[in-house]
Amino acid sequence: MSKTFKALEASEENGRFNLSVIEKKFEDLPEGDLLIKVEYSSLNYKDAMSASGIPGVTRNYPHTPGIDATGEIVESEVGDFKEGDKVIVTGYDLGMNTS
């Protein structure tokens, strides 16, 4: 597996909001739970609100928008899921700890 991956990142500097695709290292991800190879994802209206800097939507910047995805488990620390399982994830602070 590659040592890096691409991620969409919303950032804020001096009241100005920006979206960019960045390279991130797997080693910089927080430990725990699951690592999912995302096959499909979507951006919804709250993601657009976050990227636009609308108050109350995003707790901290930089932020990885997107809370809905489908993919395959590539690493698991959760007994109910194993490598190779296909999953659908939605909500529950997905991506909140990845920036």
For the segment 59-71, the average pLDDT, to the nearest whole number, is 86
- pLDDT over 60 at 96, yes or no: no
Largest CA distance in the chain: 44
Residue-wise pLDDT tens digits, 9-51: 888 888 888 889 999 998 888 777 788 899 998 888 888 888 7
How confident is the model at residue 99, as a pLDDT? 53
Within-domain flag for 22: yes
Average confidence score pLDDT of the chain: 84
- Do 84 and 72 contact (CB within 8 A), yes or no? yes
Percent of the chain with pLDDT over 90: 24
**Residue 50: CATH number of its domain:** 3.90.180.10
> Has residue 78 got a pLDDT over 60?
yes
Q: Which domain holds residue 33?
A: 4-90
- In total, how many domains does the chain have? 1
Please indicate, yes or no, if residue 96 is contained in any of the structural domains. no
In whole angstroms, what is the distance from residue 64 CA to residue 57 CA?
A: 13
pLDDT at 60 over 70: yes
